[in-house]
């Protein structure tokens, strides 16, 4: 039985109707599955987010020391428990990944997953704030391209800057929509994110730094002066931009990570001096 036949068999056997709301698109393309799992070794503990029917889980279980699979859907959990009952290296947790304390369950794990697309950025943002260093995930191609874009280019968004601050990232493979059952409406890509020991820039107040980036990109058509005047007094902002040598008419997508760090650090300094 090939993986497509196996997927159809399990879906039929358990009367599975993929839940669109939970992003249930099951990957059956063997080369893509192998690419996602390619860097897993027998020394690794792997956290798999959204194991679904267990197709990728089965490949990971052959390669890894341990697989911790976190799945929100009770029907999938029932299938997984039966499918992996004879495996002593597969642990299944029924939970919402956004509620799981990842550093508590396995701080040194690698993350390997075909992510539910509706929460891709929330999951990646969460992972960047844990001790996890190695993330290989299949996601929507457009989001993969945004993550891996160069800051200061049209494709860049807030997530580009968040990821760049913590990590290096690259697209390792494209996965066409025909490789899933059911086919998603979008193309997909495998992205690899590797956390660095050091942050890319020195930031005095990370919360403020992220708030500035986020505010800027939720109003990306506005100039930097107009978008940030919601959180920084306009006259003060004019002075900050002048001192940082950033044009008032620049748009966020024209700015580098260093530019955002300079704005945040100078604003923080002025706030502290005024207190």
Residue 96 contacts ligand SAM per CB under 6 A: yes
Residue 50 contacts ligand SAM per CB under 6 A: yes
Q: How far is the CB of 54 from ligand SAM (least distance, A)?
A: 8
Question: What is the total count of residues that contact ligand SAM (CB under 6 A)?
Answer: 23
Q: How far is the CB of 47 from ligand SAM (least distance, A)?
A: 11
Backbone angles phi, psi at 179, to 5 degrees: -85, 0
Q: Which is nearer to ligand SAM, 122 or 194 (CB)?
A: 122
Among the candidate windows 52-60, 129-137, 142-150, 163-171, which touches ligand SAM by CB under 6 A?
52-60
Residue 23 contacts ligand SAM per CB under 6 A: yes
- The pairs formed by 210-214 with CB atoms below 8 angstroms and a separation of 24 or more are 210/162, 212/260, 212/263, 212/264, 212/267, 213/158, 213/161, 213/162, 213/252, 213/260, 214/158
Q: How far is the CB of 119 from ligand SAM (least distance, A)?
A: 6
Closest by CA position to 164, among listed 199, 191, 192, 133: 199
Closest by CA position to 217, among listed 158, 271, 265, 170: 158
Residue 97 contacts ligand SAM per CB under 6 A: yes
Q: Report strand pairing: 188-195 vs 134-140.
A: antiparallel
| Distance, CA of 111 to CA of 89 (rounded, Å) | 16
Q: How far is the CB of 24 from ligand SAM (least distance, A)?
A: 5
Q: Give the residues lining the site for ligand SAM (CB under 6 A).
A: 22-27, 49-52, 55-56, 70-73, 76, 96-98, 114, 116, 119
């Amino acid at each position: 039985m090939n993986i497509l036949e196996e997927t159809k068999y399990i879906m039929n056997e358990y009367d599975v109707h993929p839940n669109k709301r939970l992003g249930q698109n099951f990957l059956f393309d063997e080369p893509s599955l192998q690419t996602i799992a390619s860097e897993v070794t027998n020394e690794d503990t792997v956290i798999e987010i959204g194991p679904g029917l267990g197709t990728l889980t089965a490949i990971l279980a052959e390669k890894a020391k341990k697989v911790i699979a976190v799945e929100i859907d009770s029907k999938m959990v029932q299938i997984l428990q039966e499918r992996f009952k004879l495996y002593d290296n597969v642990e299944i947790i029924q939970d919402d990944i956004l509620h799981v304390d990842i550093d508590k369950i396995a701080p040194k794990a690698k993350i390997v997953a075909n992510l539910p697309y509706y929460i891709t950025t929330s999951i990646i943002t969460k992972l960047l704030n844990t001790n996890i260093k190695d993330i290989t995930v299949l996601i929507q191609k457009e989001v993969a391209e945004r993550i891996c874009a160069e800051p200061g280019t049209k494709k860049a968004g807030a997530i580009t800057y968040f990821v760049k601050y913590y990590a290096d990232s690259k697209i390792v493979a494209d996965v066409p929509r025909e490789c899933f059952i059911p086919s998603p409406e979008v193309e997909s890509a495998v992205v690899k994110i590797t956390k660095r020991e050091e942050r890319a820039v020195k930031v005095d107040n990370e919360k403020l730094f992220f708030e500035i980036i986020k505010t800027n990109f939720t109003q990306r058509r506005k100039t930097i002066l107009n978008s940030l005047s919601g959180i920084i007094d306009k006259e003060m902002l004019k002075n900050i931009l002048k001192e940082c040598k950033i044009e008032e008419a620049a748009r966020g997508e024209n700015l580098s990570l260093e530019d955002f760090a300079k704005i945040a650090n100078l604003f923080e300094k002025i706030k502290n001096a005024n207190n």
